[in-house]
Structure 1
Amino acid sequence: MREVPLRREPVPPDGVMGGPPARGRFGEYGGRYAPESLVEACREVGEAFREAWADPGFRGALARLLAVHAGRPTPLTPALRLSEELGVRLYLKREDLTHTGSHKINNVLGQALLATRMGRRRLIAETGAGQHGVATATAAALLGLEATVFMGERDIERQALNVFRMRMLGAEVVPVITGSRTLKDATSEAMRHWVGATGDSHYCIGSVVGPDPYPWMVRELQRVIGDEARAQCAAELRTGVPDHVVACVGGGSNAAGTFAGFADTPARLVGVEAEGGAGAARGRLGVLHGCRSLFLQDGDGQITQAHSIAAGLDYPGVGPEHAHLRDLGRARYVTVTDDEAVRAAVRLARTEGIVPALESAHALAWVIRAAGDGELPAGSTVLMTLSGRGDKDVSTLKELL
């Protein structure tokens, strides 16, 4: 495992993970690198979200949907048997228990409400593991919207269950056959499609990536994870906050939402990437999908293909705020192999009766490894966001076990 040295820029006086970033920038990252035809659409989304986020009526409607439809708040579960084996106190923030089975519903319900507020009648989305696609199809059905979901052909094959769920919910699933046929290419196709459909459609990006305002808007909609966990830890832990806060990172939305609740505490923030998709740990400065961030690149600066057994982590970069957190030294980014993730998923299933998504299993794999090599001192408290459940990965696991 190799990590890129941190530049450790000074933390700005107003802290990190606060309000919208000035000019859409997180340090040197972020921005709005979009085709001219999308610049105005992005500006409209940003203005509409700022207005909506300041409106108690909008916030109240979203809070009600999160409670009565998505099932929030999600519990904080102590992993008792695994904690005893590891010698640390591990707590799981159970996003796998939301309706649709992952954290994605938090963001999508907010963006779907925003779309209706803006008069849009259709949601466009990309998906890798299928969870964001399922959440988008769910929200569209709930609010009477149409949904078109772009998904790489390779991901369609390995996430057949979620493809069926999307179609059952009434969404159109569009196979993407270009490039690696995974999440990067699905995102590219969704953005191209939006160019010709800005008048009646809202692009519901699933992670903290893309042109401004999406990175901070998605983070704010996922902040509910961290805010809930902060309050739950205050009630559960003697110290009030855990020693470490850990989450898996692809584009990075579940991690951003979790970290936002603890950015102003002494907790150490750890983002866990797939070894084959480590944008924060091994990426270089570049531009992709409308923002400036860290991406895997070859010697000529071309974006290279990522690889992960977890389709949701099969992305060659990381959201711009994560790149900024890395530079500040506020968060650390590490990598985990496919084999480690599979072993972690099995171990959680057999100690706690929980089958995690392979994305979430990456975060757990780091906790297991760090506890074993002493990086996590005995008795440490660890909060880990369990971002999704593992139903979607059963076919993959059956082939390996």
Structure 2
Amino acid sequence: MQTRDVLAWRASVAGSGVMGEPAARGRFGEYGGRYVPESLAEACREVDEAFRGAWADPGFRGALTRLLAVHVGRPTPLTPAWRLSGELGVQLYLKREDLTHTGSHKINNALGQALLATRMGRRRLIAETGAGMHGVATATAAALLGLEATVFMGERDMERQSLNVFRMRLLGAEVVPVTSGSRTLKDATSEAMRHWVGTTDDSHYCVGSVVGPDPYPWMVREFQRVIGEEARVQCAAELVTGVPDHVVACVGGGSNAAGTFAGFVDTPARFVGVEAAGGAGASGGRLGVLHGFRSLFLQDDEGQIIEADSIAAGLDYPGVGPEHAHLRDLGRARYVTVTDDEVLGATARLARTEGILPALESAHALAWVIRAAGSGELPAGSTVLLTLSGRGDKDVSTLKELL
């Protein structure tokens, strides 16, 4: 893209508010909001006020930046996928969130919220988790800052992610099995919110994605914005054009995608969010309310939530973050789906061409790139930035059974 085109794009989005602070009442277009009982409304208002104050405080921002550097290992590298790029005919670059301490992007947000909790005088973190990576990140942040942690996890996810359950407990967290419903992420989130109702005085609910009642969707996005901001600088140094043609990330709730997209929102880069075929809120959802926010959710003809199903526990959520729904409506991002078989193939292919074992969640994004390059949807020579949101150690048991 020529420099004048980049400048024209920036001028067109300047002042548009896209991926900025949400509108009144925590809205992204018609999505978002704060649909909670009065018992949680005050707690959400306190989190909102505390986050606004913290985010405007150079001392808070500086403390978080230092922790991300010395504890997490930021900045994470931008890795050219040389061999796979040659096979696909595109220039593929991987933003390596799998190389963070704890092994995924979740630690960026968990540390930010843990610091916020201490600022608010809270001594305990509550969290939900699907694949276990947000639970591990929350337990890690709690241990580092001397906080208690209680993590709710679906019983089914505990079985397929037993390694992360052990990691959380070793770090000192209490892991509470959730036996209701599908026993996955949706039900863990419901239980965590119910628990928060009775513990708001001493606990902070550390939401793991860009979901939940206001201010969580934009607060989590801001804590994850570091991914996109780093990648923007790295792409400027690495790419001839300075900006990739496509920015691609997997989407469940959508925090790694939101953080990555935020760094490139004022560029002509095309955003692609990749969902699981069995859990595609942005691609196949309808307007509804769940877990305190309004967005797109999988529903039956009577408006009841349909359970999501994915090989990746972290994408087993029946909806999508409200800002992603808004980006879809604006046409700023498109959302596509891939199948479990495509994900397994992409996982093996990256391992064998680049020596990198991705998390099954991240492999969704890669599966789309492989498919799109093969079909010509990605023109030959295109530059693609893909956020590798986590590493695949946690999925080895699943891979052993299916590959």
TM-score, reference length from structure 1 = 0.97
Q: Give 1:217's aligned residue.
A: 219
**Secondary structure class of the residue paired with 1:69:** helix
Alignment of 1:288-327 (within 5 A): 288-327=290-329
2:331 to 324, 329, 332: 329
Q: Report SS of the residue matched to 1:114.
A: helix
Name stretches of at least 5 consecutive residues in structure 2 with no aligned partner: 1-11
* Conserved? CA contact 1:96–1:388, under 8 Å: yes
2:307 is paired with a residue of what secondary structure?
coil
Match of 1:4 in 2: none
- Among 73, 87, 90, the alignment partner of 1:88 is 90
Shift of the alpha carbon at 1:113? 0.1
Give secondary structure in 2 for the equivalent of 1:323: helix
* Contact 1:283 1:296 (8 Å CA) reproduced: yes
Structure 2 letter corresponding to 1:278: A
| Paired residue total | 392
Matched, 1:388 2:393: no
SS of the counterpart of 1:170? Answer: coil
Give me the whole-angstrom Cα distance separating, in 1, the residues matched to 2:396 and 2:23: 40
Counterpart CA distance in 2 for 1:147 and 1:338 is: 33
2:14–2:266 Cα contact (<8 Å) kept: no
Aligned-pair CA distance for 1:13: 4.2
* From 114, 117, 120, the counterpart of 1:115: 117
For 2:166 and 2:365, how far apart are their aligned partners in 1? Answer: 28
Residue pairs, 1:181-220, within 5 angstroms: 181-220=183-222
Q: Is the 8 A contact 1:11 1:328 kept in 2?
A: no
Who is 1:284 aligned against?
286
Q: Does 1:18 align with 2:20?
A: yes
| Matches of 1:21 and 1:119, distance apart in 2 | 28
Question: Following TM superposition, by how much is the alpha carbon of 1:35 offset from its aligned partner in structure 2, in angstroms?
Answer: 1.1
SS at match of 1:149: strand
Identity %: 88
Q: Residue 350 of structure 1: which of 349, 352, 365 is its match?
A: 352
- Whole-angstrom CA distance in 2 between matches of 1:324 and 1:95: 25
1:222 CA displacement = 0.1
How far apart, in 1, do the equivalents of 2:70 and 2:190 lie? Answer: 34
CA distance in 2, matches of 1:22, 1:263: 21
Residue ranges of structure 1 left out of the alignment (5+ in a row): 1-9
The runs of 4+ residues in structure 1 deviating greater than 4 Å are 10-13
Q: Deviations over 1:59-99 (max 9, x none)?
A: 00000000000000000000000000000000000000000
The answer to whether 1:233 aligns with 2:235 is yes
Tell whether the 8 Å contact from 1:21 to 1:216 is kept in structure 2 after alignment: no
Q: What whole-Å deviation, never above 9, does each CA across 1:253-289 have from its counterpart, x for those lacking one? A: 0000000001110000000000000000000000000
Pick aligned residue for 1:366 from 359, 368, 382: 368
**Contact in 1 for aligned 2:31/2:326 (Cα 8 Å):** yes
Alignment partner, residue 67 of structure 1 = 69
1:21 Cα deviation after fit: 3.3
**1:11 Cα shift?**
7.1
Deviation (angstroms), 1:20:
4.0
Q: Which amino acid is 1:100 matched to?
A: T
- Secondary structure (helix, strand or coil) at the match of 1:286 reads strand
Distance 1:290 1:12 in 2: 30
Aligned residue number for residue 45 of structure 2: 43
How much has 1:18 moved relative to structure 2?
1.4
Root mean square deviation of aligned Cα: 0.9
Distance (whole Å) between structure 2 residues aligned to residue 389 and residue 112 of structure 1: 23
Aligned to 2:247: 245
Work out the CA distance in 2 between the residues paired with 1:120 and 1:180. Answer: 31
Q: Is the 8 A contact 2:248 2:387 kept in 1?
A: yes
Q: 2 CA distance for matches of 1:178 and 1:131? A: 21
* Aligned residue identity for 2:157: D
